[in-house]
Amino acid sequence: MMSNHVIGYGMNEVVETAVTMFEKSEISVNACKKIINACLDGSCRYDGNKYETIEYLYEDHCGNCLKKIEKKEDQVALGRWEIPSEIRDAIVAPQICKECYNKLSQKYDMEKAFVPDDEKHVVNFIFFVEVFYLKDIIVEKGVLNMTEKEKMEAGLWYDANNDQELIDQRLVCQDLCFELNQLKPSDEKRNEIIEKILGYFPEDLVLLSPFTADYGKNIKLGKNVFVNINNYFMDGASIEIGDHVFIGPSCGFYTANHPLNYTRRNQGLEKALPIKVGNNCWFGANVSVMPGVTIGAGCVIAAGAVVTKNMPDNSLISGVPAKVIKTIEQ
């Protein structure tokens, strides 16, 4: 089973090919937009990432005429759900050129969809969000009124690097991890600090130092979990580890994803997707688990594996990217 990132980026390659064909006059603009919408529908149907599906269009293509917008001042940012319903599907990116905006404004009420300059940094969060994916807070408050933490918890793009609330929460966790990592293994204070990091103390947990997490409170450990030295839990989203799981040295569980586009990446944007590990798994040394991955129960993950997609129960997993080598008889 592919991860939502693989699906999204795969669809993005189709979008790029279609737009290139349009630019060469090999297909019409309407045919190109039909292909783009088909990619978006397919990505949604198979839990893909809609933003990644059209990443090629972000920043420099008009979502209406599909022509490149050479200057930033010549583009208008739009909020998806404020675009008049009659033309919503005809606009396939969160910005259009001023020429298209002016033409559409003569026939439709485009003013409600307009996003002012001081809010453009959040427009990509909201353009392709589907209501049925969102937590109640999004419906109640609207994305533009959400805090960065609320966006993070809802799985939306959020400002990870410049939001003071999130910075402060990470510093609290980092200080606690630092304090933990300075203590002797025999120091009884270790369990007290671990409880502060996680917000609870898991049953029969063995956790060796050094250990690092971003927030701590998003980590859910089952009973009888063993965490060897030098593990990093990047828990912007939930990291859920089942019962009787052994985690070898220098493993990383990474929930964070960043835009491929460096302009948006340099704005500090990030998306956190949950990781889930079933019961009775064993991770060798230096395993990396990527955002949004679920690993089934009874799996063995070989040293050095990079797990980029969901894995079925009772699998021997190895490689970069990781794949199932065989099914383990239990």
Asked whether 202 and 225 are in contact (CB, 8 A), the reply is yes
- Between 12 and 136, residue with greater pLDDT: 12
The region, left, alpha or beta by phi > 0 then psi within -120 to 50, assigned to residue 47 is left
Average pLDDT, integer, range 22-44: 85
Average pLDDT, integer, range 201-211: 97
For residue 155, name the pLDDT band (cuts at 50, 70, 90). Answer: confident
Q: Give the tens place of pLDDT for each residue, 273-321.
A: 899 999 999 999 999 999 989 999 999 999 999 999 899 999 999 999 9
- Between 134 and 310, residue with greater pLDDT: 310
Q: What pLDDT score does 230 carry?
A: 97
Single out the residue of 80, 76, 61, 58 nearest to residue 126, CA to CA.
80
Cα(278)–Cα(86) distance, integer angstroms: 45
Domain with CATH 2.160.10.10 in the chain: 164-327
For residue 232, name the pLDDT band (cuts at 50, 70, 90). Answer: very high
Which of the listed CATH numbers 3.20.20.140, 2.30.40.10, 2.40.160.10, 2.160.10.10 matches domain 164-327? 2.160.10.10
**Exposure string for 56-65, b = 16+ CB within 10 A, e = fewer:** bbbbbbbbbb
Count CA atoms within 13 Å of residue 8 on its CB side: 20
Count CA atoms within 13 Å of residue 43 on its CB side: 29
pLDDT, averaged across the chain: 84
Tell me the one-letter amino acid at 285. Answer: A
Tokens of 6: 């693989």
Q: What pLDDT score does 253 carry?
A: 98
Predicted confidence (pLDDT) at residue 25 exceeds the cutoff of 50: yes
117-126, 194-203, 264-273, range with the lowest pLDDT? 117-126
Q: What pLDDT score does 134 carry?
A: 36
Active site residue 258: yes
For residue 6, name the pLDDT band (cuts at 50, 70, 90). Answer: low
Cα(293)–Cα(275) distance, integer angstroms: 5
- Tokens 């990509």, residue located: 124
